[in-house]
């Protein structure tokens, strides 16, 4: 609680947090007073922004604002899904490897290194292009999560193995805690602030990865995301035709969301690690 108050005193955190809350509010509350409809054609393709359709229409004549709100929801969803999967996998594997040491550590470290040297984006492209049917938003989130946990695992492993030799772990052992209890009660709390920061970064990475993969045409089939809006704009040569409303708003939304998350992350660093305070 006190940490949260300290965070609120940091201007950078307030800006980042405010922006991020704003994007969530737009995604959640906008449909309440704006008729979000992504299945009816409301006009001709690429109509200019007007009073009825604030950001015009896309290549099919669908309302752009509805598409954006829908896309933002999808992007946030995929970002959180990927962030949760990557953070949980990375943290659990890292803590276990760091605490156990020995052969288990070697094996997990080897797997982690394997995932680090394979560029996640290439894996993402390969898996996505091999899945011709049923490429859903959730599946893409899952794939992103499963390819981006490696750095988290490595960093957490390093911290856990340095915590392992501390006396409070030895005391926990002679107190009768088993591996699971020690990892959850005596290692995780020390890493929690780091893990939370990693989670925010992983969420941002998830949003960006999904946008990238969708933009090159390997995005979800079942829904509209910010990335697929960009993909459609690209395919229909909106750039060449000067149809700015087909790609600018989506680009700005992605940038703002990811920027907000990065600002939150950097400002937290200053609060969680007092040595970085100015």
Partner 1 sequence: MPNEKPVFSAAGVSRVFGHGKKAVTALDNVSFHIADQEIVSLVGGSGCGKSVLAKIMLGLITPTAGQFLYRGNPIGDAREHWREVQPVFQDPFSCFNQFFSIRSQLKASFGILNTRPSRREMEERVDHALRAVNIEPPEIEGKYPFELSGGQMQRMLLARIFALRPRVLIADEPTSMVDACVRANILDYLMKLKEELGMTIVFITHDIGLAYYVSDRIFIMHHGRIVEHGPPDRVTMHPENEHTVKLLDDIPSIHKDWLSRTNVSRKPGAVH
Three-state DSSP state, 221: coil
> SS3 for 187?
helix
Q: How far apart are CA 106 and CA 238, in angstroms?
A: 51
Query: How does DSSP classify residue 118?
Result: S
Task: Report if residue 70 touches partner 1, rule: CB under 8 A.
Answer: no
Nearer to partner 1, 22 or 170 (CB): 170
When asked if residue 54 is in the footprint of partner 1 (CB under 8 A), the reply is no
In angstroms, what CA-CA distances link 252 with 91, 127, 147, 192, 258?
32, 28, 26, 32, 10
Q: Which residue's CB is nearer to partner 1, number 48 or number 168? A: 168
Q: Are 191 and 199 in contact (CB under 8 A)?
A: no
- Three-state secondary-structure class, residue 57: strand
Q: Is 173 in the site for partner 1 (CB under 8 A)?
A: yes
Decide: is 190 part of the binding site for partner 1 (CB under 8 A): yes
- Total site size for partner 1, rule CB under 8 A: 15
170 lies in the binding site for partner 1 (CB under 8 A) = yes
CB of 54 to partner 1, least distance (A): 49
Assess 168 for contact with partner 1 (CB under 8 A). Answer: yes
Per CB under 8 A, 134 contacts partner 1: no
Give the residue with the Cβ less far from partner 1, 6 or 89.
6
Two structure tokens written together for 199: 């989670």
Using CB under 8 A, list all residues that contact partner 1. Answer: 166-168, 170-177, 185-186, 189-190
């Amino acid at each position: 609680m006190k940490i949260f108050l300290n965070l609120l005193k940091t201007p950078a955190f307030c800006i980042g947090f405010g922006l991020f809350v704003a994007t969530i509010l737009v995604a959640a509350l906008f449909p309440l007073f704006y008729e979000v409809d992504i299945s009816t054609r409301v006009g001709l393709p690429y109509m200019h922004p007007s009073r009825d359709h604030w950001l015009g229409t896309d290549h099919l004549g669908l309302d752009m604002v509805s598409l954006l709100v829908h896309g933002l929801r999808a992007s946030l969803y995929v970002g959180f899904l990927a962030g949760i999967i990557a953070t949980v996998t990375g943290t659990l594997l890292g803590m276990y490897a760091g605490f156990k040491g020995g052969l288990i550590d070697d094996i997990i470290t080897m797997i982690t290194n394997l995932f680090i040297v394979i560029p996640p984006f290439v894996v993402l492209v390969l898996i996505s292009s091999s899945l011709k049917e049923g490429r859903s938003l959730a599946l893409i989130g899952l794939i992103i999560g499963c390819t981006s946990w490696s750095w988290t695992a490595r960093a957490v492993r390093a911290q856990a193995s340095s915590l392992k030799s501390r006396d409070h772990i030895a005391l926990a052992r002679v107190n009768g805690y088993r591996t699971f209890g020690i990892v959850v009660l005596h290692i995780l709390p020390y890493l929690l602030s780091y893990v939370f920061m990693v989670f925010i970064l992983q969420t941002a990475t998830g949003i960006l990865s999904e946008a990238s993969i969708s933009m090159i045409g390997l995005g979800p089939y079942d829904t509209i995301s910010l990335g697929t809006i960009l993909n459609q704009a690209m395919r229909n040569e909106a750039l060449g035709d000067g149809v700015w409303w087909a790609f600018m708003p989506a680009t700005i939304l992605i940038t703002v969301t990811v920027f907000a998350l990065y600002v939150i992350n950097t400002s937290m660093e200053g609060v969680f690690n007092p040595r970085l305070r100015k």
